[in-house]
Structure 1
Amino acid sequence: MNGTPLLIVDAANVVGSRPDGWWRDRAGATVRLRDSLARLAGSGVPPELPPPVEVVLVVEGAARKVPPVSGVRVVAAERSGDDAMVDLVATNPQRRRVVVTADRELRERVTRRGAEVYGPRWLTGRLVDPHGSC
């Protein structure tokens, strides 16, 4: 595999994995997740994913207007978020691709295309919320 590993994060799935009131402000919860992911571009997610890493946050629905920040590319799904993540995996076959989701169907779809999959806890346990709510 060549190039910088690609970390693809299922925003809705990861945000929804924590009962922190995200349902009151989905876009705000996605912004908090995006901001906490920003440092991973340089630090990776040790030990499984050493740096540098390209971080891609896939958003849909109420979070579609969340903008990117340095270190995090935001992809607003045109159709479903799952389809957007499968497309990212499929169009980057030469790279290591790590998808973060708990969605069983999505896990099957991306592993068939050579991606690794980790659940939301794997990621959220390693994040520091710059807004102070993690």
Structure 2
Amino acid sequence: MAVLLVDVANVVGARPDGWWRDRAGAATRLLDRLAVLPGRTVPGPDGEPVTCEAVVAVVEGRARDVPAPAAVRVVRAPGSGDDALAAEAADLAADGRTVLAVTADRGLRARLPATARTTGPGRLLALLDEVSPAG
């Protein structure tokens, strides 16, 4: 079981679908799609199955005030989203939770606890395309 910790800005920015015209709207759409993942077993970064026990999504900037679906815990970064995500990963790891962080940001990945696993936005978006197609 793992907590999926999502760098929303990084994932939204990974697909050039016009997100820059409505950052909050793009974040809302991603959060809605993430809501189907808790309780699901998905392929992990190494191909081994991982059961997603919870989704925690970090939002920042113009997306900070987006609504949160009931199945997703949203962390609203007061400043840097990277700082908030690194702190959340540390808190989860300190509580003994397994963390699977989704970001392509190498600097952020280096700040995560040693026990955290990582995967990129492309892998998450491909999974979401399978289980929760964009409308």
Q: TM-score range by the shorter chain?
A: 0.7 to 0.9
Q: 1:95 aligns with which of 87, 94, 97?
A: 97
Q: Partner of 2:73: helix, strand, or coil? A: strand
8 Å CA contact retained: 1:30, 1:63: yes
Q: Which residue of 2 aligns with 1:108?
A: 110
Distance 1:73 1:24 in 2: 25
Number of residue-to-residue matches in the alignment: 128
1:23-74 per-position Cα deviation (integer Å, ceiling 9, x unaligned): 0000000011001100001214235453342101100000000121121111
* % identical equivalent positions: 52
1:77-116 per-position Cα deviation (integer Å, ceiling 9, x unaligned): 0221111111111112211101100111001111x44211
CA drift at 1:5: 1.8
- Seen in structure 2, the aligned counterparts of structure 1 residues 96 and 130 have a Cα distance that, compared at 3 Å, is same
How high is the TM-score relative to the length of structure 2? 0.87
8 Å CA contact retained: 2:2, 2:97: yes
Q: Which runs of 4+ in 1 moved over 3 A?
A: 128-131
Structure with greater strand percent: 2
Over the residues paired in the alignment, what is the CA RMSD in angstroms? 1.6
Q: 1:24 aligns with which of 21, 40, 50?
A: 21
How high is the TM-score relative to the length of structure 1? 0.87
Unaligned runs of 5+ in 2: none
Q: Which residue of 2 aligns with 1:34?
A: 31
Unaligned runs of 5+ in 1: none
Distance 1:55 1:99 in 2: 10
CA drift at 1:17: 0.3
